[in-house]
Each structure stands twice: as structure tokens, then as C-alpha cells.
């Protein structure tokens, strides 16, 4: 029987992203983009721009889903700490998720918007710990001292 990685309940890190996170976000964005397109008069540049935004947003969702399918394989095979393309996938997942969440936030007042759709600050716990080491919470990189 094949191993399956399950969607996490509380989304904290980009490494936890799952294709099941993208599916409802994609449906939400498609519906909102359709409303945007329909609100523009036929044959206008505003309608063309809205239609193009809808196409780009749909493409972003597909790209992120593809990255997450590949990421799933990497995780299940225990290769998530390999250098190179694996790390690029990890970074891409975080960046493209952020891009889609920022778009969804334009419709944050909509009743179907989910709080889960928010940019994630860190790829994983190790990334969060590294950033915490590099930037002291109290005083930034230089602590309480002045810039050298």
C-alpha cells in the first residue's frame, strides 16, 4: 500500500502545504475572478485586464499544485533535505502560496474566504530557528548596539 501524506490541521510552515490546500483556494479565486470579469463591460480594456488576471491566477494555482505534487513525492521518499531542485521546490511552494494568498486577501471580507489562506513566514521549523538566530527579536541583527 502506498504511503500518503495527509493535510495538516494547522498550517504553520510552507513544508506542510498540500495539494488539498490549493484546491479550495483555486475554486475560491476562480469564482472571485469570474465575478470581476463579469463586472466589466464587454469589449473594454478593463474586461480584458480582468480576464487576463483570472487566467494568470488560474495558472498560478496549477503551477503551485504541480510543485506540491512533486514535493509530496520528495517528502514520502525522505529526500526533503537534498540540495538543488528539492530546495528550489521548497522555496517555490512558499513563494507561490504567498502570491495566491495575497490575491485571495483582496476578497478577505467574502464569507467563503478562509483564515488558512495566509502567507507563511517560514519553510519549516529549522528555517524559523535560523531566522530567529540571525535576527534577535529585541534588537535585530546588531542586538542593542549601533550598526558598525
Give residue 143's pLDDT band: very low, low, confident or very high (50, 70, 90).
low
Q: Is 121 left (phi over 0), alpha (psi -120 to 50) or beta?
A: alpha
Instruction: Give the pLDDT confidence of 77-135 residue by residue, as tens digits.
Output: 999 889 898 889 999 999 999 999 999 999 999 999 999 999 999 999 999 999 888 87
pTM of the predicted structure, to 2 decimals:
0.84
Residue of 7 and 85 predicted with greater confidence: 85
Burial 36-58 (b: 16+ CB within 10 A, else e): bbeeeeeeeeebeebeeebeebe
DSSP 2: -
R_g of the chain computed on alpha carbons: 19
pLDDT at site 145:
58
Q: Is the pLDDT of residue 1 over 50?
A: no
pLDDT at site 3:
66
DSSP 146: P
Spell out the domain ranges in the chain: 14-121
Q: Cβ–Cβ contacts within 10 Å for residue 74, how many?
A: 16
Instruction: Give the pLDDT confidence of 12-53 residue by residue, as tens digits.
Output: 999 999 999 999 999 999 999 999 999 999 999 999 999 999
pLDDT at site 5:
74
Distance separating alpha carbons of residues 100 and 128, to the nearest angstrom:
22
For residue 80, CA distances in Å to 40, 86, 124, 126, 135 come to 45, 6, 11, 13, 25
pLDDT at site 9:
83
Residue 16, classed as helix, strand or coil, is helix
Amino acid at each position: 500500500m502506498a504511503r500518503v501524506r495527509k493535510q495538516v490541521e494547522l498550517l504553520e510552515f510552507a513544508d506542510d502545504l498540500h495539494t488539498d490546500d490549493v484546491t479550495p483556494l483555486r475554486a475560491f479565486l476562480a469564482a472571485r475572478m469570474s465575478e470581476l470579469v463579469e463586472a466589466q463591460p464587454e469589449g473594454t480594456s478593463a474586461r480584458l485586464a480582468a480576464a487576463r488576471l483570472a487566467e494568470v491566477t488560474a495558472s498560478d494555482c496549477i503551477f503551485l499544485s504541480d510543485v506540491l505534487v512533486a514535493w509530496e513525492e520528495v517528502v514520502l521518499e525522505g529526500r526533503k533535505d537534498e540540495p538543488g531542485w528539492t530546495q528550489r521546490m521548497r522555496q517555490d511552494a512558499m513563494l507561490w502560496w504567498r502570491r495566491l494568498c495575497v490575491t485571495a486577501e483582496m476578497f478577505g471580507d467574502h464569507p467563503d474566504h478562509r483564515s488558512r489562506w495566509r502567507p507563511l513566514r517560514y519553510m519549516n521549523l529549522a528555517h524559523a530557528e535560523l531566522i530567529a538566530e540571525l535576527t534577535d527579536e529585541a534588537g535585530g541583527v546588531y542586538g542593542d548596539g549601533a550598526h558598525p
